[in-house]
Chains A and B, each alone.
Chain A
Amino acid sequence: MILIDYDRCDYCGACVGTCPENVIHLVDTKLFIDNDGCTDCKICTYGCPVRALTFVEEPKGGARREKRI
């Protein structure tokens, strides 16, 4: 799954346009990724200007997207 680092994300929306599944959503200053639709293609991680998105293996015990809140 894709982990969003909210300390780095500058909510520019670039990743939204590159996601082939259209499952990234920018709501005000907060980015969301729809878990079910994401295919782990990693495309969004390369288009991000600030490396706010990283691919990680699905953690045990349920998904948590935020690196830190």
Chain B
Amino acid sequence: MKSAYDVVVVGAGPGGSTAARFAAELGLDVLLLEKRQEIGAPVRCAEGIGTQVLRRFIEPDPKWVAQVINSCRIYAPNGKYIRLEAPGEGLILERKIFDRRLAELAAEKGATVRCKARVTGVLQEGETVTGVTVNAMGQEHRIHAQIVIAADGVESQVARWAGLNTMVKLAEMDVAAQYLVSGIRLEEPDACWFYVGRAYAPGGYAWVFPKRENLANIGLGITPLHTIKTGETALDVLNRFMAKHFPDASIVSMVVGGIPIDGKTRPISKSGLMVVGDAAHQADPMTGGGIANAMIAGQIAAQVAAKALRNGDVSAEALKEYDRRWHKEVGRAFKPLKQIVEEVIEYPDEFFNELADQLHDRPRLNLVDVFKIALRASPRLMWSLGQLVAMGWF
């Protein structure tokens, strides 16, 4: 570890490792810092990702792909489900191995990677971030950087130390609990199951993501407003769900966590700093999926960093290009997505039951068909969906 780099990236999740990889590939001198003793562990994820978007960054490899997904089931509270075909469209990862591979890629491109190196503060000159302080194996270091990329996940302390407000409001957090379970028999190990409706997960949804025919991530996300109202936590709701639907499952791993999903456009850069991934609240407000978005943002941040350093200008104005590009490529869909979510979580369970009654025996459905039927039942969805259509989503 030297005392100065072009770019210091904080956090070796998918966002940070991708930023470090592309920054190094663009010829920058990069340091990637991870506080954990092992990159990728513990896993805080259901490990699902879209095949197509992943391919933009890396070819799927059996070493870290647990399962290819060909369809999904969406269960209504009455137990009926709608089946959507999605051949090859999704993957369930082994994130422990995947995250490590992304960090290795950064190293292969020339970045210096350090684990057990916890960033404890930022260095600033006036309003400009000029580096970080790091505790590595009990030793304090001051490391200077032209640009700091904060990819420190839901904790997001680096941006806050630098004066950007990335605090997660309770109403804007998806609180999740999940078990990796064994000893079950899945009818279709290549199908993801989703459970919608208040009966399953208040303010969120439950999922079964298979990793093998007898191994799956089973979890759910809820709004903490439910906890405030009832005292019931995400883990309590999950335990209820497991007792009812998978009473015989053996738990081999427990995963909990929070995902910031606010659907807002917020400043994600300032002079000398860009914020990437969960730290910048970039997970999809509808699904809570944040792996792909963190990687997209990481790549944009690396490109903006390279340009800024080429021009010798790391001012807030120059780095604003990162905000603009993120918004144009992904962020602008967040507002309508969040509106759809807010609308849909208000629906009574009967709504989903009726939808499932109408659609459960239809073959070869896709998401557009479901939205069409839902629109008939709820015209208020029209505006938000219309925006997504205008953006070329469907």
Contacts and interface: CB of A to CB of B under 8 A. Distances in A.
B228 to A, nearest CB: 5
Interface stretch (A32-40, A43-51, A61-69): A43-51
A10 B167 contact: no
Contact of A49 (B37, B169, B257): B257
Contacts of A20: 167
A26 interface: yes
Contact of B170 (A26, A27, A43): A43
Interface in B181-205: none
A43 B224 CA distance: 10
B366 to A, nearest CB: 33
B256 A18 contact: no
B154 A16 contact: yes
B170 A46 contact: yes
Interface in B227-273: 227-228, 233-236, 254-258, 260
Contact of A16 (B155, B161, B176, B255): B155
B256 A10 contact: yes
Given A47-B175, A50-B233, A12 B168 contact: no
Chain A interface residue bracket vs B: 20 to 34
A28 interface: yes
Contacts, number: 86
Contacts of B169: 18
Given A18-B258, A22-B160, A49-B256, A13 B167 contact: no
Given A13-B257, A14-B256, A28 B36 contact: yes
Contacts of B166: 17
A56 B177 CA distance: 25
Contacts of A50: 177, 233-235, 256
Per DSSP, chain B at the interface is mixed
Interface string A1-34: 0000000001111111111101001111000000
A38 B254 CA distance: 29
A19 B61 CA distance: 39
B59 to A, nearest CB: 31
B154 A13 contact: yes
A49 B155 contact: no
The residue among B235, B236, B254 with the most chain A CB atoms within 10 A of its own CB is: B235
A17 B235 contact: no
The residue among B37, B153, B233 with the most chain A CB atoms within 10 A of its own CB is: B233
Contact of B173 (A10, A14, A22, A27): A14
A26 to B, nearest CB: 6
A25 B224 CA distance: 21
Interface of B: 35-37, 42, 44, 118, 153-157, 160-161, 166-170, 173, 175-177, 224, 227-228, 233-236, 254-258, 260
